[in-house]
Chain A
Amino acid sequence: MSKKRLILEGSHFMNGDVACAEGAIAAGCRFFAGYPITPATEIAEHLAQRMPEVGGIYVQMEDEIASIAAVIGASYAGLKAMTATSGPGFSLMQENIGLAVMTEAPCVVVDVMRGGPSTGQPTLPGQQDVMQAKWGSHGDYEIIALAPSSVQEMFDLTIEAFNLSETYRVPAILLADEVVGHMWEKVVIPPAEKIKILNRKKANVPPEAYVPFMPDDDLVPPMACFGEGYSFHATGLTHDEHGYPQTSSSEAQQKLVQRLCDKIRKNADKIIRVEEVMLDDADVVVVAYGIVARAALSAVRKAREKGIKAGLLRPITLWPFPEKHVAKIAKQAKAIVVPEMNCGQLVREVERAAKETPVAFLSKLGEEPHTPMEIFEVIRRNG
């Protein structure tokens, strides 16, 4: 087998789910556990074929609860691990996303969003899991979520999700939508050596000196894995730096939960990525993500043609939310327009950051994302 076959390189025409799967392989993911669900199934199907080719593991579990649990297990056994699902499965995963947060298990969860609630519209797109990605598991925590807008980004941001997850020892969620997942586009894959890959910090002290949950200055503890000669305990219970349960200590709860939040909050500037288009002099700014941002960009260009000073702010990182970027544009803009394929989720964050600047929300549910004309009309009314 040629090396080229192991990890793809060059230009390819593929769909978003396949690009995500190839991105995972390029990122060094060697464990996938999942359960079939529309519109994410193609990720599992592709990895069932590709994982063995790169010496990795594909396993189909009995449900999504088991899938994410197995992913956490594989992560603790030293592999980069991923699962992929859609809304109903994402709901089932929330329990153990909390476990991954608490035990600081690096892992990637792909949610190719469809229409909800409940079984909803399995084959149609949605952006209805944005708040669930942040708040879905009980308790207080911070998490990372990225929203791809193209098939290229399904590849790129899957790698980015692994890098962030490994760096901060937190689950990273790729919050895609059905259109991006099923759309076919050109993907350019650079040579493997040109792709930036980050790995978790390994334990760097002798086993007797290893304190498994003692953070470094960046608030992230180095990670030993099972079988590496470090004997340690990890638990979903509140624990001290040694990993021992502390179920009645207020101090331990304060210290641990605050650090789990702070390691993301205090590193937010390093984590957050946005795309800014024609914002310098913009009077009307569209804040859009995922597939909707593609239509928003067309609408912004059309507005410019008509003499309206419009711009686009596209959060690539949805969580942590790029509130500084929104606050900055809110100071100069007369209005902000937020189109979303839900009844108003990220718009709440935009409103919070925009303070006094008026925010126009444009909801769309069902078969098609917003058209450029629909978004243009709102820009025109507010321009």
Chain B
Amino acid sequence: MEGLQWGNGFDRHFFHLIRDHSMQGFYGSPRHGGNRNNVSYKMMKLDYPVIIGQNRYNLKSDGK
């Protein structure tokens, strides 16, 4: 593969692979072992787990 050289101690392809896998773990479903307790979704203020179709409603009794 072109550019797969470690001469200067840094490989672009390898770095991108690690970067992609890190983001897949952090932003992907917790079923894969990352994103524990939906931590990234909480960070993005995204309601999880998905109650199918109904997350846009506020289900708390106090309405807040």
Same assembly: no
